Amino acid sequence: MVKPEDMDDYAHYRDIGVYCPFPEGVWSSIRARDAEGVGIINEIGVIWARHIGVPCPFKQPVRVYIERGYIKKFEGGEEAETLTRFYKFISEYLGEATYEVRGFHGGVHPSAILEPHQCPNAPYRHFIEHHHWSSFHFHMGNSRRAKDFPYSMHISAELRGGDLKIGDHYVYKNSRITTADHPKVKAIAEKYKNRPGLEPERWLQTPR
């Protein structure tokens, strides 16, 4: 893969390389500006869950209160308390960027589901299911604001199986991404209809 001189984001130049899988894992993140609301999450991405010290999934759902694009508080059980302590600690290095809702995106793969007999490692199963087309998430924290912070703060607040509507249009509905029904996407899928993973029932997986 050759990186163009004027592009720093992998998502912007990956389509010119030889690695262009279909279906992809997730669609490219979009910026979240002035987000408002309460996100009820049951897990975060497994890598940062391990770093922070919370189970995946949580023992109890966590409510994430968001105002004008920033997290104001976490509510729930032990996990909410742990997240509160962690974010307070990181804020000593990143300031208010610690609480920024950085971006939003989700999974696009119809078969990113594994049963325990296929993958006994539960955290890795959760990582794979992060890419399923019923899963979307927002990113909590923006370490890019601090050029001297050596880590990529990539904490994804997982929302699975829900509906997402923007204006009059659904992005996710009935636990799947709606663009899967777009004629152009179906035309591409038809070209690869025998590719493993596109038909879950053929591969000992439980369609969800």
pLDDT in tens, 124-141: 898 999 999 999 999 999
Q: How many domains, the chain?
A: 1
Does position 114 have pLDDT exceeding 50, yes or no? yes
208 within some domain: no
32 within some domain: yes
76 within some domain: yes
pLDDT in tens, 62-95: 999 999 999 999 999 999 999 999 999 999 999 9
Pair 139, 101: CB distance under 8 Å: yes
119 within some domain: yes
* Per-residue confidence band for 197, with pLDDT thresholds at 50, 70 and 90: low
pLDDT of residue 187: 86
Record the pTM.
Answer: 0.79
176 within some domain: yes
4 within some domain: no
* Structural domain boundaries, residue 20: 10-203
1 within some domain: no
